[in-house]
Amino acid sequence: MSGFVSFVGSGPGDPELLTLRALKRLKQADVVLYDDLSAGSILDEANINATLVGVGKRAGRHSPKQHHVSRLLVDYAQQGGQIIRLKSGDPGIFGRLEEEIQALDKAHIPFEIVPGVTSASAAAAAASIPLTRRLSARRLQFVTGHDVTGVLPENLNMAALADPECTTAIYMPKRTFPILAQRLMDHGLAQDTPALLAESVSQSEENLTSSTIIELAVQLKKNAGSAPGLILFGPLALRNNRT
């Protein structure tokens, strides 16, 4: 008998943003294969007897290859028990979920997906802003800032990204945003379009920077830093500095 795999979204990192189902699965875990951004206090919620296996990937650091992660997942599941594949944010958003599902399907291992709070929603909440607005921001799009080689994808729909009436969330964006910002402006997006850089959202090191696409591009070209981040841009990407 094989085990059962739960792909669990850990949200942006604050344990209080875990869903009740995610928390229940962690308490039942025999093995937890966790992403780098799902470590720390999230793992404190896991079964104290669970085997914890780090399989995270971070830009600029030595990381396990995806085929190795998928193989580990299958190997642990074939030994039986409750296997948790803990992914940051929501498992289905830029988490290479499909590749791991395919590996489980090939090995005939059952699984479920437990959704989590994605970074774009957490960043907007931290900045006290909505992601949509009637009439002027009726569309929301999520885009990755780099491909598997670490560079800006060449086949991005620039017309859609340069839509001034859309809220855009760029995941893993910091190293490639200067190039993207120039392409956005080349496609007609105003250089003073609001942009929000959200780093380490929901963590003690959380940092939110309100800017414009051109100012943020200049800042990141000088120093992208190492903190995990997400960029929102569009008509709503202005931090609400409530008093």
Q: What is the pLDDT of residue 150?
A: 84
Residue 27: CA count within 13 A, CB half-sphere: 7
Structural tokens at position 233:
């841009």
Q: Are strands 139-144 and 166-171 parallel, antiparallel or unpaired?
A: parallel
Each of the 243 residues of the chain gets a pLDDT tens digit; together they read 689 999 999 999 999 999 999 999 999 999 999 998 888 899 999 999 999 999 986 555 556 788 999 999 999 999 999 999 999 999 999 999 999 999 999 999 999 999 999 999 999 999 999 999 988 888 999 999 988 888 999 999 999 999 999 999 999 999 999 999 999 999 999 999 999 999 999 999 999 999 999 999 999 999 999 899 999 999 998 877 654
pLDDT single digits (tens) 212-242: 999 999 999 999 998 999 999 999 988 776 5
Compute how many other C-beta atoms are within 10 angstroms of the C-beta atom of residue 102: 11
- Tell me 11's DSSP state: B
Can you name the residues that pair with 52 across neighbouring β-strands? 32
Q: What is the pLDDT of residue 25?
A: 98
Report the SS3 class of residue 2.
coil
pLDDT single digits (tens) 25-46: 999 999 999 998 888 899 999 9
pLDDT single digits (tens) 138-149: 899 999 998 888
Domains of the chain plus CATH, in order, are 4-114 (3.40.1010.10), 119-233 (3.30.950.10)
Can you name the residues that pair with 197 across neighbouring β-strands? 209, 231
Cα 124 from Cα 182, distance rounded (Å):
24
Q: What is the pLDDT of residue 238?
A: 82
Q: Is 24 a catalytic residue?
A: no
Point out the catalytic residue in the list 24, 30, 36, 57.
57
- Closest by CA to 220, choosing from 188, 160, 175, is 175
Structural tokens at position 242:
């409530």
Point out the catalytic residue in the list 14, 35, 90, 163.
35
Q: What is the mean pLDDT of the chain?
A: 93
Q: What is the pLDDT of residue 243?
A: 41
Q: Is 36 a catalytic residue?
A: no
Structural tokens at position 125:
């909440």
